[in-house]
Amino acid sequence: MEKVSKYGANRVISPQGVLPQAADILDNTMICQANEILIDVTTLNIDSASFHQIQQACDNDLKRMEAMILTIVETRGKMQNPVTGSGGMLLGKVKEIGKEIQKDLRVGDDIASLVSLSLTPLKIERILQIHPARDQVDILGQAILFETGIYAKIPADLPADLVLAALDVAGAPAQVQKLVAVNDSVLILGSSGKSGLLCAYQARQSAGKNGKVFGVINDLSQKKDLERLAVCDEIIVEDATKPLAVYEKVLKANNGHLVDVTINVVNVPNTEMTAILPTKQQGTVYFFSMATSFAKAALGAEGVASDITMMIGNGYTRGHAELTLNLFRESRVLFEIFKQRYGKEGSL
C-alpha cells in the first residue's frame, strides 16, 4: 500500500485517484496501519435497498444470497452492491488500534461503524447466518476503519442488535429533526420500515400536536406497528411507485393541501415523483432512500414546475447516533417494535 491517507485512499486498488467509496476494488489486507482501526466483525447490517436487490436476484434463496455476498466482498474488497452502489454498516469488536489514532477507544470495545460498508475494507472468513427479516448477516470476518471513520460504542442500556439496526439509518430521523418545524405537515414514504418508523416518530415530535404526519405503506400487513406507534394522523395504503395515486390520497388526507416536508425512505426505485408531487412550492423533499435517481428527481421536478428544495440523504449529521438511540429511551413502544423485529432469535 502507498503512504497512509486519513481518508483511506492508500487502500484503493482501482481506479487510482479516487476515494474508497468510489473505488471498484479496495485492498482488504487486514493489517492495521498507523492511522487505522482493525475490527473483528460479528454482523453486517446491509443497506435495505441493497439487501432487497440481493433477495430479488437470488429469489430469496439463502444459499444463493450467501454466495452473492461472498462474491461481492471477494471481488471488491468491500460490501458494496454493484447494482445499488450502497453498503450498510457493521457491528464488531475492536481488535487493534493504530498508533496515530487519537480517539476514545480501547481494544475490546464493542462498536458499530457509522460509515458505509461501501467504503470499508472487509474480509469475510465465513458467513454464519443470514437474517432476511432484518437485513443482517452474521459473519466471521474483519474490517478496517479509517482515521476519519466514525463509529458509536454500544451503550450498556440497549441491546447491540437493536443498536445496529437503528444506527444504520440514524441519519434519517436526525435530518427530520432539523427539517421539520412546529405545525408542519409531513409525508413519510415507506413509513413502516426501519427508517420510516424512526422518521415518523421524530416527525411527530418536531411537528407537534398541531402538525400533521401522514405515513404511506404499500400493504395492510405493514399497518399494525405504525398504528401501535400512534404518531400518524393518517396511514395511506398505496404503491409508492404510483405518484398520481399517492398524490390524490395525500391531498384528500390533508384537506386539499400539499405537505411542507416529504421524507422518502422506501427501498425500491421509481418513487422520486411520488415524493415531489405532494410537496408544496418552496417545500422540502428529503431522499434518504439509496434507490433514488438524482436524474429522475431533478428532471422530474423541473417537468412539473416544482420549486422545492431536494436533499440527498446524507447518512451523517452531527449528533445523529445519540438522537436516534434516545428515541428508544423516550418511547417504550418504539423500542418494543424494534426489539421484536430486529432482536436476535430468542432474545426477547
What does the alpha-carbon distance between residue 182 and residue 210 come to, in Å, rounded to a whole number? 8
Q: Against a cut of 0.85, is the pTM above it?
A: yes
Q: Which three cell numbers stand for residue 38?
A: 482493525
What does the alpha-carbon distance between residue 83 and residue 341 come to, in Å, rounded to a whole number? 26
Q: What is the tens place of the pLDDT at every residue in 239-262?
A: 999 999 999 999 999 999 999 999
What does the alpha-carbon distance between residue 275 and residue 43 come to, in Å, rounded to a whole number? 33
- The answer on pLDDT for 300 being more than 70 is yes
Q: What is the tens place of the pLDDT at every residue in 85-126?
A: 999 999 999 999 999 999 999 999 999 999 999 999 999 999
Determine the residue type at 25: I
Q: What is the tens place of the pLDDT at every residue in 50-66?
A: 999 999 999 999 999 99
89 contacts 114 by C-beta, under 8 angstroms: yes
- The answer on pLDDT for 80 being more than 90 is yes
Q: Which three cell numbers stand for residue 339?
A: 426489539
- Once rounded to an integer, what is the mean pLDDT over residues 6-17? 96
- The answer on pLDDT for 1 being more than 60 is no
Who's near 345: CB < 8 A, 6+ residues apart?
A: none
CB atoms within 10 A of CB 77: 24
Q: What is the tens place of the pLDDT at every residue in 170-217?
A: 999 999 999 999 999 999 999 999 999 999 999 999 999 999 999 999
161 contacts 342 by C-beta, under 8 angstroms: yes
Q: Which three cell numbers stand for residue 178?
A: 432539523
Length of the chain equals: 348
Q: Which three cell numbers stand for residue 331?
A: 418511547
User: CB under 8 Å, gap of 24 or more: what pairs does 227-235 form?
Assistant: 228/333, 228/337, 229/197, 229/200, 229/201, 229/331, 229/333, 229/334, 229/337, 230/333, 231/200, 231/201, 231/203, 231/204, 232/188, 232/191, 232/200, 232/204, 235/191
CA-to-CA dists, residue 17 to 23, 24, 148, angstroms = 9, 12, 18
Question: What pLDDT shows up at residue 344?
Answer: 67
**Which residue in 178, 177, 43, 173 sits closest to 113, CA to CA?**
43
Q: Which of 74-83, 150-159, 307-316 tops mean pLDDT?
A: 74-83
The residues of the chain that CATH labels 3.40.50.720 are: 171-318
Architecture of the domain whose range is 171-318: 3-Layer(aba) Sandwich (3.40)
**Which residue in 235, 331, 211 sits closest to 203, CA to CA?**
211
